[in-house]
Structure 1
Amino acid sequence: MQTNTDFSTLDITNVAATWLEAHLVSIAGAFAVLVFGWLIAKVLSRWADRVLQNSPRFDPTVADFLSSIIKYGLYALVIATVLAQFGVQTTSILAVIGSMGLAIGLALQGTLSNVASGVMILTQRPFRVGEAIHAGSIKGVVQEIGLFTTELKQFDGLYVQVPNTELWNQPIINFNRHPIRRFELLVGIGYNDSMDKARDELLALAAADERVLSDPEPIAFVNSLDESSVGIGLRIWCQTGDYAELSWDLTERVKAKFDEAGITIPFPQREVTTRAGA
């Protein structure tokens, strides 16, 4: 019994020694490829990460995501090259991995759509953290942009988390992207009031407020002829940060100024004629 065990051990040892002798060159080559390939992959991945992080076109979240893909892709290439040294058919392995990736992609289609939308948002930058936006039914200030969702603080102070797909697939209005914006005020005056006087009063109000920009210069115009009034418009430009308070102040001052100047802001009126029955 002991002799059989010795012979079995001896046979295994001989087979192992024979196999090592036959594949010594391949093992050495595979080890060299593994060591040097791993070092090269690490150097390249660090270089790619540094380039992406320093690029103004990429958000830090996108830079981390892309650098991770590059890093693990290089490592996968090194492992495939090592397996090829032993005669392993990597094409079949890649086919299996591809099939698994397709199945996972179909199962996580919605999630991957959010990731793709997140990458596009972070790359194209239709909005940034701290900017106020309006997209569909969503209005608020952007708090955080992630790969899956974007967090906003609504103007009423409520927190909202929006899937990136819902933001990317519709028009996005960014209230803070440009440094200046236009404000237009429309007010109705009576048909018996002077249009020239109303325009002059509006321009005087605009000129008296230092928040109103002189370039582009303010303009006042007749906007419409309505049933009960003549629509007079004032169009001005201001710094984006001054827009809200300036619009409130001017609206209030126009009412007070028109009252002082005797310019009426009429209520809707309708003339009704009754005829006596025959």
Structure 2
Amino acid sequence: MTTSKPLSALKTQIKTELGTELDFAATALGWLRDNLVHLAGALAVLVIGVILARLLSKAADRALNRSGRIEPTVAKFLSNIIKYALWVVVAITVLTQFGVQTTSIIAALGGLALAVGLALQGTLSNVAAGVMILIQRPFRVGETISAGPVLGTVSTIGLFTTEMVQPDGLYVMVPNNELWNKAIVNFSRMPTRRFELLIGISYSDDISVARRELLALAEGDPRVLDEPAPDVFVSALADSAVTVGLRVWCATSDYLALSWDLTEKAKQRFDDAGLTIPFPQREVRTIAAAA
């Protein structure tokens, strides 16, 4: 009698568990039978959506790269955005197949995106500025630019920052937002550039001699372009000198060396021609007091 009670209790427990499992299996099979069409539709939407997302993102990447106006970094970034956006649409469509109310999900995703955007406002502004820089191309790698207090040669353009090397050899990493919100001066973009040299001569010197020497200086340097032609002019009548100017055009790559050479040779030619380059002078008169 002591052993029959445990056996009967065990049999009852087994029947109960078996019945529960059978009920669960029957419920699952019934749900599967009732929702088989929805499952097939959801699976088809998922497979087709993933394939389309990959195909469209690759097609967008190829199209953006072929355009020639968009950097590969931006093209990859934009194609990934297209892919992930399509994945979100596919996921929402799959949930719709099962009768899930996606309005609340979309609202939650929108709120999450807003929260993330506010938290990463500075970072996202740098990303947006980086995308605009890579699309608009106000400068490229290897070009020398200035934007606000920053001056240097661009070495790397990223989505978040731009890396530059200053003329003194110092490395600078600038947030893209700092560059995009400033007026950018590109010293390397245009093929030619104008150089202007201003020199003061004495009021007693002959302006025509200074004009002749400056024109001869420009014509004697092969780096000076014939078009536009060199121009000599009187810039100002200053307190201590008559300011004479020379304007010449040259290739952008020759600008710095040409400016140094013309400045040095102008001084030498003026000395040889007897022209005086005065420095500011002040005349002091002493008036004796009446006895």
Corresponding residue for 2:237? 225
Match of 1:55 in 2: 67
Identity %: 61
Q: 1:210 aligns with which of 201, 222, 241?
A: 222
Out of 140, 148, 152, the residue aligned to residue 140 of structure 1 is 152
CA distance in 2, matches of 1:117, 1:80: 31
Aligned-partner residue type, residue 173 of structure 1:
V
Between Structure 1 and Structure 2, whose CA radius of gyration is higher?
2
CA distance in 2 between counterparts of 1:169 and 1:136 reads: 9
Amino acid at match of 2:76: D
C-alpha displacement of 1:272: 1.5
Which of the residues 17, 24, 30 maps onto 1:18? 30
- Which ranges of 4 or more aligned residues in structure 1 deviate by more than 4 Å? none
1:61 offset after TM fit, Å?
1.3
Cα offset, 1:91, TM superposition? 1.5
Amino acid at match of 1:227: D
SS in 1 for 2:93: helix
User: Per the alignment, in what secondary structure is the counterpart of residue 3 of structure 1?
Assistant: helix
Q: Which amino acid letter does the alignment assign opposite residue 193 of structure 1?
A: D
- What is the SS of the residue equivalent to 1:210? coil
Cα distance per residue 1:50-70 (max 9 Å; x no partner): 111222221111111101100
- One of 172, 194, 198 as aligned partner of 1:182: 194
Gaps of 5+ in 1: none
1:76 partner letter = V
Partner Cα separation in structure 2 for residue 5 and residue 272 of structure 1? 119
Deviation at 1:274, TM superposition (A): 1.6
Output the CA distance in 1 between the equivalents of 2:39 and 2:159. Answer: 42
Number of equivalent positions: 278
After TM superposition, give the deviation of residue 94 of structure 1 in Å.
1.1
Confirm or deny that 1:7 pairs with 2:19.
yes
2:77 to 46, 65, 70: 65
User: Which piece of structure 1 moves more, 265-274 or 125-134?
Assistant: 265-274
For 2:260, the aligned partner's letter is W
- Deviation (angstroms), 1:193: 0.3
Q: TM-score, normalised by structure 1?
A: 0.98
Distance (Å, rounded) in 1 between the aligned partners of 2:162 and 2:214: 42
CA distance in 1, matches of 2:175, 2:57: 30
Indicate the residue corresponding to 2:286 in structure 1: 274
- State which drifts further: 196-205 or 30-39: 30-39
Q: CA deviation at 1:120?
A: 1.1
Q: Which amino acid aligns with 2:224?
A: V
Gapped regions of structure 2 (runs ≥ 5): 1-12
